[in-house]
Structure 1
């Protein structure tokens, strides 16, 4: 299967759009043009954001499929499998080979596409060896149902074991000024040529509102004033700067449910922070 022309190891997407909260309006509810899900996704595509990220767990694959209808060739479509909701609202992980195949087929149907560009294991399994899971994912690549495979919520050892079965294109982990777990993976990602997709770069909203820790808020205020931008854009720009600082491919994946937020996130990718500003932000990270 030919790799997606929208992604290469040397030229990954600059920024993605996380679609976890993308939903149709409630029946009978007010339709806000700024929050229309189709308009939100199309605004991202119009701004050059090609990577769209959803998951079986999010329950919105059919909606995502409708939003990209007619523009499929502009999209690097990512979805995930393995996390299953229970009747009581709890969740469990299923990553055996049969589940991999079944989940992929149902995701393809819901999304209304012939191939998934990047297919992630959403969460590691304590029961199924990762070699079995990735072996089944590799079979999907060979069958032309998937172009590339990714991992999320795994360990460094998992990454090595998985990549020994089939090359892992991307690892998705949280990275922001308030979450640093992704940094433990940087050496192995660089060694194996794996892109880091940094989800929740705004700390699940913590860095774009009143919940920002006081020391960080003060550190963000300086560059925000200099650039005349909101502090949330500076926080997102910090994640963008990590690619240069670590010589590691990093794709920030902010979520957005409005056109205005999409545009603000895209603008953050062009912000240039000084070395002194980066050092100050590093010093007050929580």
Structure 2
């Protein structure tokens, strides 16, 4: 989301180097969106390695005067087609592997949006459909129109709303969860402060202690917890940690090999739920 040509200093923060390091490490999914305003960068970066990439993009968020946080949602059928054509052109591809509706619309019924997205599949412009920032009812209605391959929602130790209503439906439908912000926008990667030690639930202390036992950072443990959601809940889960640094990318990749014990998972579960 934050990859940019501008402002990158040194090889470690070169966005092309970051993406290529991910591909070299065996990561196959690259996720972007028209709202991230970096589709052209992503397209250039993967051009020589397109067959190694499951390319995902999103549509629906329309910025107001380019101000972050201020946006409208457009999901009407004509805009679905327009947005897909524009994203494909910026990415320099004939087909987008996974195409998401970025946010639920309050004005366009989701059946209409997904119906138009399904037409893109029929035309060979998109391979699979996804949703993001929706309700369980949205997912149920959308899936009745066309199979929803992936649902991208926030899921971390301190953001667990997905577990309440969405997760049971996801399991029934066979949809893959793409868990964005698995370290809570970096909050769980930050160095613990004295204030954290005085916290009521001790989550930060637990992350550090478990990390010490695995020779891992607190952020890696938090990311490993999300990796373990697949075995805990029996649904496919793809954590989606973002980074603008090669070094940070390598830490994220290594987190997939942090095997947490049942006791450690239970401890994190209880402390995270209390946050």
TM-score by length of 2: 0.94
Say if 2:199 is the partner of 1:218.
no
- Counterpart secondary structure, 2:178: strand
Residue of 236, 241, 244 corresponding to 1:249: 236
Q: Within 5 Å, which residues of 2 pair with 1:116-131? A: 116-131=96-111
Higher helix share goes to which structure?
Answer: 2
Displacement of 1:178 in angstroms is 1.1
The equivalent residue for 1:85 is 63
Q: Within 5 Å, which residues of 2 pair with 1:23-172? A: 23-26=4-7, 31-87=9-65, 89=67, 90-172=70-152
Q: Is the 8 A contact 1:24 1:63 kept in 2?
A: yes
Displacement of 1:25 in angstroms is 2.8
Displacement of 1:210 in angstroms is 3.4
Q: Is the 8 A contact 2:192 2:204 kept in 1?
A: no
Say if 2:157 is the partner of 1:177.
yes
Change (3 A) 1:86 1:211: farther
Deviations 1:237-281 (A, max 9, x none): 000001001011100000010111111001000110011111111
Residue of 160, 172, 178 corresponding to 1:191: 172
Measure the CA separation in 2 of the matches of 1:109 and 1:145. 11
The alignment's C-alpha RMSD in Å is: 1.2
Deviations 1:124-169 (A, max 9, x none): 0000000000000000000000000000000000000000000000
Equivalent pairs, count: 264
Displacement of 1:31 in angstroms is 3.0
Query: After TM superposition, which residue ranges in structure 1, 4 or more long, deviate above 4 angstroms?
Result: 211-214
Q: Which has the higher contact order (CA 8 A, sep 6+)?
A: 1
Measure the CA separation in 1 of the matches of 2:192 and 2:127. 39
Displacement of 1:229 in angstroms is 1.2
- Counterpart secondary structure, 2:99: strand
Residue of 201, 204, 210 corresponding to 2:182: 201
- Counterpart secondary structure, 1:71: helix
Residue of 261, 271, 274 corresponding to 1:284: 271
- Counterpart secondary structure, 1:69: helix
> Unaligned 5+ residue runs, structure 2?
none
